[in-house]
Amino acid sequence: MQTTLFTNVRVLDSTGEQPFAGEVLVQGNRIAEISRQEGTISRDAHRHVNGGGATLMPGLIDSHLHLSWNNQPTLAAIQQMPPEEHVLFAADMAKLVLDAGFTAGFGAAAAKPRLDVVIRNAINAGQIPGPRYRAAGQEIATPGGLGDTSPPHIEHEGLNFGMIVSGPEEVRRAVRKFIKYGVDNIKLNLSGEEITGVGAEVTPMAREEIAVAVSEAKMHGKTLCAHARSSKSVKLCVEFGIEGIFHASYADEEALDMLEAVKDRHFVAPGLAWLLTTAREAGAYGIAPGSPLSQQYERELEIAVDSMRKMHKRGIRVLPGGDYGFAWQPHGTNARDLEIFVNLLGFTPMEALVSATRSAGQIMGMGDELGVIREGCLADLLLVDGDPLADVTILQDRKRLLAIMKDGVFHKAPEAPAPRERV
């Protein structure tokens, strides 16, 4: 069993406690021993990493991740890429995310039915580098709703961004198909999206359709998640026990009360980076600041920030994950969410880091072993040059990520540290 000993590090364990000077021993893919005293752990490890005073913390986790979004400017450019090229692009995106320090991610929908599954399996088999990944199928959507991208005069499944269904039995068939493909997550589109021409406050999916999807998914032990911007869609998520709620921008007080009452059952990943960049930074791609579409996103951003602040105060789990993978917010910039949480939502840096590690480990279904530095937990670790609690933006600088370890193996191995004062 391979062993790695980190010494002279500042351990930020993501329990919410302040960092401490210490040492951490990794055996195989697990954290075997942690010490707050220098020299108490045996030096017989296969590899000895002197951190030079750097911060050792858990790997980051993106709770709203689309590995098959290929940094293109439109849904059509993402979905209609030929499948052979798309597999290669998705593999590149998986490496980009891991390069950025994200050692795990919750799949929030794939551009093609089996693409997430194929990428997850390739990562798990060691064929390609990438984060731990919970794979999703396509978004399950209704005719005319978000995901229905075929033109009115050409009804063709291959032109649609989502799996288009109408009625409970079509929903049942779609869910069963994705389960056959081997997905971990089932995604429902319960609300619209302004950029598609379907209003974010529209809620097109019928209750009986949702009920069938939930029944089938839970029967097979799959996690449910939903694109749910409207207040009504958030309430439907709570009513039907849909664990992962994406966006929730327009949650009203009733929806907030419902969420708070069962806050241990749900996660909210608002995707604020998408709102921010689409409103203000997509001018080169046809969404000029001040245009009607930009103003719609500015309005939603303002309302969403207020909603997330309220959720945070109520103890509802709000997690980073910003719909990265579009041209104006490409994969590899995912850590910007932490800055957004601090600057817009009022999270402390510690709260933002815990949400991106310990809390996000819970949406991965691995809350007892992922996202914290604790004996027995999985060794997904970052060695960071600097203090993320003093400046959370340093996690956006890949040069400051001195080492990236996933499952006890270095994806990015550390270089010998420059001389610096010991912690």
Angle at 268 between CA 351 and CA 311, to 5 degrees: 65
Q: What residues pair up with 4 in beta bridges, in sequence order?
A: 26, 47
pLDDT mean by block of 10 residues, the chain; 423 residues: 96 97 97 94 93 98 96 85 94 97 98 96 98 97 73 58 90 98 98 91 96 98 98 98 98 98 98 97 96 97 98 98 95 98 98 98 96 98 98 98 98 74 45
C-alpha distance across the termini of the chain, in Å: 29
pLDDT value of residue 75: 80
Q: How far apart are CA 405 and CA 413, in angstroms?
A: 8
pLDDT value of residue 423: 45
Ordered by where they begin, the domains of the chain are: 3-59+371-412 (2.30.40.10), 60-363 (3.20.20.140)
Q: What are the structure tokens assigned to 288, written together?
A: 């000029």
Q: How far apart are CA 59 and CA 67, in angstroms?
A: 17
pLDDT value of residue 422: 45
Q: Are 271 and 320 in contact (CB under 8 A)?
A: no
Pairing relationship of beta strands 55-58 and 30-35 according to DSSP bridges = unpaired
Query: In this structure, what is the dihedral angle of CA atoms 116, 117, 121, 124, given to the nearest 10 degrees?
Result: 60
pLDDT value of residue 288: 96
Residues 6+ apart with CB under 8 A from 68: 78, 86, 89, 90, 93, 110, 111, 112, 115, 116, 119, 325
- Which residue bears the tokens 């910039």? 333
Provide the CA 406 distance to its chain's centre, in angstroms. Answer: 16
Residues 6+ apart with CB under 8 A from 79: 111, 112, 149, 160, 161
Q: What residues pair up with 26 in beta bridges, in sequence order?
A: 4, 31
Q: How far apart are CA 105 and CA 134, in angstroms?
A: 7
Looking from the CA of 25 toward its CB, the CA atoms found within 13 Å total 19
pLDDT value of residue 309: 98
Provide the CA 207 distance to its chain's centre, in angstroms. Answer: 27
Q: How far apart are CA 226 and CA 183, in angstroms?
A: 15
- Which residue bears the tokens 């709570």? 238
Residue 255 has what DSSP assignment? H
Q: Are 335 and 97 in contact (CB under 8 A)?
A: no
The phi and psi torsions of 140 (rounded to 5 degrees) equal: -95, 120
